[in-house]
Amino acid sequence: MPFVKQFDAEIIENRPVTESWRELVLSWDGLAETPAPGQFLTLRVSPYSDPLLRRPFAFSGFVGRAAGEAPRASVIYQIRGGATRLLSELAPGARLDAIGPLGRGFPQPGAEETPILAGGGIGLGPLLFLASALAEIGEAPLLVLGLRSLSLLPRIELPEGAVLCTDDGSSGFRGTPVDWISRERPESRPSGGGAAVRIYGCGPAPMLAALSGLAGDRGWAASLSAEQWMACGVGACMGCALPRSGGGFLRACADGPVFDAGEIDWKACL
Ligand SMILES: Cc1cc2nc3c(=O)[nH]c(=O)nc-3n(C[C@H](O)[C@H](O)[C@H](O)COP(=O)(O)OP(=O)(O)OC[C@H]3O[C@@H](n4cnc5c(N)ncnc54)[C@H](O)[C@@H]3O)c2cc1C
Ligand code: FES
């Protein structure tokens, strides 16, 4: 069992950003580690036995301990079932039992790699954190966000130059982020290496499979964050197993959730 850091977090904010999405801001007094983009925490949303299991959420931002202030971390979540419904009803001041940061986050881009961040729906959260971390080291990452419709656009500031794709064409590019990237970035990695794209992806399984296929065709690197159902969240139960390319399984919680595209058989996840 890996080292686990449990902490008592206070809800600072829990605001609606769409009809069914919320932005949760947490703070704590203890010594929880600094999260990296792509890592996640698990929350126990109720002191009672239902829901029993902790729920995993990716960090969408983190502000470290400033002079005299406690650290703050944010999460953007979608109300899907019982636990997220309960979470959405908690007011500032309520406290949550949290464990994190957990898992393997996104790697930095190589010296000659241009980062393109492709997010589908609620997959936006960890990419916002990544975009701000990359901006801090002088990168100007391009975020391409896919939504079903403009009405689902969250009231959240997106990085400058972000591209919006909608399935129904109600705003921005009509199509998916994969369609947009395929059309706008036709270049392949030059034979013998050199400048290329690194895709960072987070979103539904079909989008990850398509990003993996596109990166493979173009010879690009791709780091994809898998959203897998989890039980323990810390590597002990194999409840989050993903099919490994070439056979066997990898655990989304402990070996990921971010994987190099080639590590996972994404088509088998569909
Ligand atoms: C590493 C990781 C990071 C995540 N980050 C976020 C995030 O930033 N924001 C966010 O909104 N959600 C995120 N999720 C998903 C989130 O954990 C689930 O939405 C949540 O656990 C649902 O709990 P519930 O009780 O509300 O819904 P449930 O009643 O448990 O489920 C409701 C519906 O959602 C489906 N579902 C539940 N969990 C998942 C899952 N992991 N993947 C796909 N479908 C699922 C169920 O099959 C069911 O149809 C993440 C999951 C993982 C594994
Ligand atoms: S959820 Fe238990 S091993 Fe990943």
Verify whether ligand 2 is closer than 6 Å to residue 195 (CB atom). no
Q: Both 82 and 134 in a single domain?
A: no
Domain limits for position 97:
6-102
Mutate to test the pocket of ligand 2, among 53, 232, 242, 255 (most ligand atoms within 8 A of CB): 232
Candidates 222, 203, 186; CA nearest to 113 is 222
Where among 81, 102, 123 does a domain terminate?
Answer: 102
Q: Both 83 and 216 in a single domain?
A: no
Q: Both 131 and 65 in a single domain?
A: no
How many structural domains are present in the chain? 2
Give the distance (Å) from ligand 2 centre to CA of residue 196. 34
- What pLDDT shows up at residue 172? 97
270 residues of the chain, pLDDT tens digit each: 444 588 899 999 999 999 999 999 999 876 567 899 999 999 999 888 888 899 999 999 998 876 667 889 999 999 999 999 999 999 999 999 999 999 999 999 998 899 999 999 999 999 999 999 999 999 989 999 999 999 999 999 999 999 999 999 999 999 999 999 999 988 777 777 766 899 999 999 999 999 999 999 999 999 999 988 999 999 999 999 999 999 999 999 999 999 999 999 999 998
Q: What is the CATH number of the domain that holds 48?
A: 2.40.30.10
Say if strands 6-16 and 21-27 run parallel, antiparallel, or are unpaired: antiparallel
Q: What is the CATH number of the domain that holds 262?
A: 3.40.50.80
Give the distance (Å) from ligand 2 centre to CA of residue 222. 23
Q: Alpha-carbon distance 270 to 265, whole Å?
A: 10
Q: Alpha-carbon distance 194 to 201, whole Å?
A: 22
Where among 59, 75, 102 does a domain terminate?
Answer: 102
Q: Both 152 and 206 in a single domain?
A: yes
Say if strands 196-202 and 258-260 run parallel, antiparallel, or are unpaired: unpaired
Q: Both 117 and 69 in a single domain?
A: no
- What pLDDT shows up at residue 2? 44
Give the distance (Å) from ligand 1 centre to CA of residue 246. 27
Nearest CA to ligand 1 atom 25: 83
